[in-house]
Amino acid sequence: MNSIEVYKKVFGQDIKRTREFFGYSQEYMAEKIGVSKGTYRNLEGGQRIPTTEQIEALSVVFKIDFKTLMQYVFKDWTRYVKSNYPELTESEYAEKMIEVLDKQNSIIEKWEEEKKNISFNIEKKILETIEMYQRLHGGVKVLSEVEKKDLLEQVSLTMDLKIKQVIRRK
């Protein structure tokens, strides 16, 4: 038994079960997460693990936190392996569990790194915009580092609120 193959299968089953719970079609889900219908069918069929972007999109569509979604999949994987492979010794089961946890942690780490990069790029663009505005309007007071930080914090809070509003509308 290849643990990652089982993980893909369980992930696919979870996606399918959740999609059906919401009453969504495969076509709808493919469109929402930005993949072809065939790719989406492969995700549900367990032929591939979704990318971090696809998992993020799934979590938005299903209105569930990214990490929570990943925890559900791991819990289901654990249950699946225990019920379908009772012949595994505790050490074999532990090895399989570590393999899958490593895969899952690498997905979560990549997701967190991508979020951090996006956040950094947004902050950089905001600061560049502030500096450009100040240069264009010579009489405007130059912001201190503390004022820039406060402004970034306000923009960040506003962006978080807007993102939550968009998610709620979907």
pLDDT in tens, 37-57: 999 999 999 998 888 888 888
Q: Residue 80 CB: number of other CB atoms within 10 A?
A: 15
DSSP per-residue codes, the chain: --HHHHHHHHHHHHHHHHHHHHT--HHHHHHHHT--HHHHHHHHTTSSPPPHHHHHHHHHHTT--HHHHHHHHHHHHHHHHHHH-TT--HHHHHHHHHHHHHHHHHHHHHHHHHHHHHHHHHHHHHHHHHHHHHHHSTTSPPPPHHHHHHHHHHHHHHHHHHHHHHHHH-
Question: How high is the pLDDT of residue 142?
Answer: 64
Across the chain, mean pLDDT equals 83
Cβ atoms of 5 and 48 within 8 Å: the answer is: no
pLDDT at 90: 86
* 3 vs 31 pLDDT, higher one: 31
Dist CA 8 CA 29 (whole Å): 18
What share of the chain in percent tops pLDDT 90?
22
Looking at per-residue pLDDT, the higher value among 165 and 130 belongs to 130
What single DSSP character describes residue 25?
-
What share of the chain in percent tops pLDDT 70?
89
pLDDT digit string, tens, across residues 78-114: 888 888 888 888 888 888 888 888 888 888 888 888 8
Tell me the C-alpha distance between 107 and 58, whole Å: 14
Query: Which of 10-14, 15-19, 106-110, 138-142 has the weakest average pLDDT?
Result: 138-142
Whether pLDDT at 24 is above 90: yes
**pLDDT average, residue stretch 4-15:** 89
Answer yes or no: is pLDDT of 127 > 80: no
Report the pLDDT value the prediction gives residue 170, as an integer from 0 to 100. 47
**Going by C-beta distance under 8 Å and a sequence separation of 6 or more, which residues neighbour residue 106?**
none
Residue 13 has what pLDDT? 92
